[in-house]
Chain A
Amino acid sequence: MTGEEVFTETIAKDQRVEPRDWMPDGYRRTMIRQIAQHAHSEIIGMQPEGEWITRAPSLRRKAILLAKVQDEAGHGLYLYSAAETLGADRGDLTRRLIEGRQKYSSIFNYPTLSFADVGVIGWLVDGAAICNQVPLCRSSFGPYARAMIRICKEESFHQRQGYELLLTMMGGTPAQRDMVQDAVNRWWWPSLMMFGPPDDRSPNSAQSMAWKIKRHSNDELRQRFVDMTVPQAEALGVTLPDPSLAWNAERGHYDFGTPDWAELTRVISGDGPCNAQRIERRRRADEDGAWVREAAAAHAAKQTGVPA
C-alpha cells in the first residue's frame, strides 16, 4: 500500500495518525496551525488570571490560582511538543506568535477587572474550553489526542475551582454578588464566541471533519455549552445577559441570542481591549529569558565538553 492509501485507511478506520506516517501536506499544515494556536492560547491564557496571583484574597485562593496558572503553562508545553513531532520548531512558533503571524483564542484579549473574573474564567471560559476539547481527545493525530487527554483531566479542576469561588462570593455581601454578576455580564458573550464563527461562515470545517481533527460543528458545541451552563447559572443565582435565552421544549435545547460576530472579527484581527498588551508581555518574557536559556546551554556545554 502507498503512504496515501495507509493514511486514508487509518482515517476511515478511526485509528490514529502518528508523526512518522505519510500524511497530506494540508493535513500537516492544518495540524501544526491548530496545535500551535492552541498552545499559544494556553501560554497567553496565563496572563489574565496571573495578574490576580499577588492580589488573591487568601493564601488558599493564591495557592489554587498558582497551581491553575502553572497548569496552563504545562498545557502549552505539552502542545508545543505535539507540534514539534510534525517538524515545527518551538522557537519559530513563539516568534510567529510574537510577530502576530499565528493566532490564539480571542477570549484572552479581554481584561480581568475584579477577582470575580478569576471565578468566571474558570466556570465559563474553562467550561467552554472543556466542551471544545473533550472531542479533541479523539483527534486523528495521535500526539495531539494524547496531549488533550492529559489536558482535559486537568481542566476539570480549573472549572470546579472557578465555580466554587463564585459560590463563595455569592454567599458574601451584596457588593460581592454584584461583582460576580458584573463579571458574568462581561464574559458570557465572549465565552460563546470561543466556539468560533457560525457553521455557515466556517470555511475549513468540512475538510477538518473529513480528516477527523474536528468532531462536532461550532454551533453544535456552542449549543451544548449553553445547555450545560444555564442550570449552573440558576444554581449560582446569577442571570445570563441574554433576553432571548429560553427553554425550547420542541427542540429540547435552550434558544439563545446571536453573539456580535463583528466584535469577534475585530478581536481576532488584533483590535480587542488587550491584544497589544498580551503580545507585548509575551515578547518581553521571551527577550528577558534569552540570557537564561543561553547561560543554561553554555553550562551544559561546559559540563559535557559538547555544545548543546
Chain B
Amino acid sequence: MSDEIRHEWPLFEVFVRAKRGLNHVHVGSLRAADHTMALHHARDLYTRRNEGVSIWVVRSDDVAASSPDEKEAFFAPSGDKAYRHPTYYSIPDSVPHI
C-alpha cells in the first residue's frame, strides 16, 4: 500500500470557457498527476454536457490570492473614489448621446 503522501496527486484548479467570446471561469478543482492528466480529468469531470469549448488547468499551489484579512487595505481605497463612475457627473438632460 502507498503511504499517506503518495496517496494523492497534486490539486489543480479548473477554468472553463463556456463558449467563444466569454472568459474562462473557475468551475472547481481536481487531483491529477500532471497537467496533461489534469486536462483530461477536467474534460471528463466538468464538461460532460457540452459546458465548454476550452479548458485551463493551473496547479493550486501556483495560485496567489488576496487574503480575507487584507480585504480593507486591499479594496477600501477605491470605495471613496466616486468620480471614477460616470454617474458622478451631472449633465443636463437636454444634451444628447452622452
CB distance from B30 to the nearest CB of A (A): 6
- Name the residue on A nearest B4 (C-beta): A91
Say which residue of A71, A84, A293, A296 sits within 8 Å of B7 (CB atoms): A293
The answer to whether the Cβ of A90 comes within 8 Å of any Cβ in the partner chain is: yes
Interface string of A156-168 (1 = CB under 8 A from B): 0000000000000
The answer to whether the Cβ of A70 comes within 8 Å of any Cβ in the partner chain is: yes
Say which residue of A70, A81, A89, A300 sits within 8 Å of B34 (CB atoms): A300
Q: Which residues of A contact B11 (CB under 8 A)?
A: 81, 84
Q: Is the CB of A296 within 8 A of B9?
A: yes
Say which residue of A81, A154, A308 sits within 8 Å of B33 (CB atoms): A308
The answer to whether the Cβ of B29 comes within 8 Å of any Cβ in the partner chain is: yes
- Name the residue on A nearest B67 (C-beta): A20
CB distance from A219 to the nearest CB of B (A): 33
The answer to whether the Cβ of A78 comes within 8 Å of any Cβ in the partner chain is: yes
CB distance from A66 to the nearest CB of B (A): 11
User: Is chain A's interface secondary structure helix, strand, loop, or mixed overall?
Assistant: helix
Task: Tally A-B pairs: CB < 8 A.
Answer: 66
The answer to whether the Cβ of B2 comes within 8 Å of any Cβ in the partner chain is: yes
With A and B bound together, what is the CA distance between A293 and B3 in angstroms? 12
- From 9 to 40 in chain A, residues with beta carbon under 8 angstroms from any chain B beta carbon are 18, 20-22
Q: Which residues of B contact A180 (CB under 8 A)?
A: none
Q: Which residues of B contact A296 (CB under 8 A)?
A: 9, 33-34, 37
With A and B bound together, what is the CA distance between A287 and B2 in angstroms? 9
User: Which of B11, B29, B30 has its CB near the most chain A CB atoms (within 10 A)?
Assistant: B29
Total interface residues in chain A, CB < 8 Å: 33
Given the interface pairs A81-B30, A308-B33, the reply to whether A74 lies near B9 with Cβ below 8 Å is no
Q: Is the CB of A91 within 8 A of B7?
A: yes
Total interface residues in chain B, CB < 8 Å: 23
Say which residue of A70, A78, A293 sits within 8 Å of B2 (CB atoms): A293
Q: Which residues of A contact B9 (CB under 8 A)?
A: 293, 296-297, 300, 308
CB distance from A80 to the nearest CB of B (A): 8
Q: Which residues of B contact A297 (CB under 8 A)?
A: 6, 9, 33
Q: Is the CB of A304 within 8 A of B34?
A: yes
Q: Is the CB of B29 within 8 A of A81?
A: yes
Q: Which residues of B contact A290 (CB under 8 A)?
A: 1-2
Q: Is the CB of B28 within 8 A of A147?
A: yes
- From 1 to 31 in chain B, residues with beta carbon under 8 angstroms from any chain A beta carbon are 1-2, 4, 6-11, 28-31
CB distance from A17 to the nearest CB of B (A): 10
The answer to whether the Cβ of B65 comes within 8 Å of any Cβ in the partner chain is: yes
- Name the residue on B nearest A74 (C-beta): B45
Given contacts A78-B45, A303-B34, 15 further A-B contacts (CB under 8 A): A18-B68, A67-B48, A71-B48, A81-B11, A81-B28, A90-B7, A91-B8, A92-B4, A94-B7, A150-B28, A154-B49, A290-B1, A294-B6, A297-B33, A308-B9
Question: 6 nearest interchain CB pairs?
Answer: A91-B7, A296-B33, A300-B34, A300-B33, A81-B29, A91-B8
A-B contact pairs, 30 of them (CB 8 A): A20-B65, A20-B68, A22-B68, A74-B44, A74-B45, A77-B30, A78-B45, A81-B11, A81-B29, A84-B11, A84-B29, A89-B8, A90-B31, A91-B8, A94-B7, A154-B49, A293-B9, A293-B33, A294-B2, A294-B6, A296-B33, A296-B34, A296-B37, A297-B9, A300-B34, A300-B37, A303-B34, A304-B34, A308-B9, A308-B10
